[in-house]
Amino acid sequence: MIFLIVQLDTLRVGDVLQIDFIGYNYQVKTIIDNDGYALIQPFGYFKLANVDLISAQDSIFQKIKDIYPLAKISIIILNKIPPKVYIMTNKELSAVIDYQKGMDIRFVLFSSGKFQDEKVERVILIRNNKAFVIRKENYDFQLMPDDIIKVYLKEEFRWQDLLPFLNFLTSTISLLILFGIITPR
């Protein structure tokens, strides 16, 4: 007995596909847009992001079976976009990293050298539109493709941040003295 093990690729946003309708000499090249849909002319849009190849073929066939009842569909991934992990700080998108199986939060945060453990106040993991607060003892939490790590850094006090306020305060006091509203002693 022979077993055939096939790893099914999951289609992702940004993947470029070639779809062949075998037996009808028809071929379409398309890209999966940011909403997860691919336009297959003349049949319309198909939700293909986060779907494996066999499911994608089935969903396309179900929609076109009335037009091409004997069609065999072949999907070829011409350009595969690797999955990413996104790191954000309080203020900005800090990094976009290619996902690798086995990655954890500690590896992503501290291997880059951008973050120091004592400056990290809180870490939130956003996965499938759900947020999880990650404590320091759980930094070995395994990441998945398209995870977003939100890192809140401890704010450092800087005197330069007070300069605009001090400038405004001295200007206001000067105007009040000039108009005689207040008098200096």
Q: pLDDT-based confidence at 6, cuts 50/70/90?
A: very low
pLDDT tens figures, 107-137: 877 776 666 666 777 888 888 888 888 887 8
Residue 3 pLDDT > 70, yes or no? no
Domains of the chain in start order, with CATH, are 16-79 (3.30.1950.10), 84-153 (3.10.20.90)
pLDDT tens figures, 133-158: 888 787 787 888 888 888 887 776 66
Q: What is the pLDDT of residue 1?
A: 42
Q: How far apart are CA 31 and CA 81, in angstroms?
A: 11
Q: pLDDT-based confidence at 38, cuts 50/70/90?
A: confident
Kindly tell me the burial class for residue 120, based on how many C-beta atoms sit within 10 Å of its own C-beta (0-12, 13-18, 19 or more): middle
Q: pLDDT-based confidence at 63, cuts 50/70/90?
A: confident
The percent of residues above 90 in pLDDT, for the chain, comes to 0
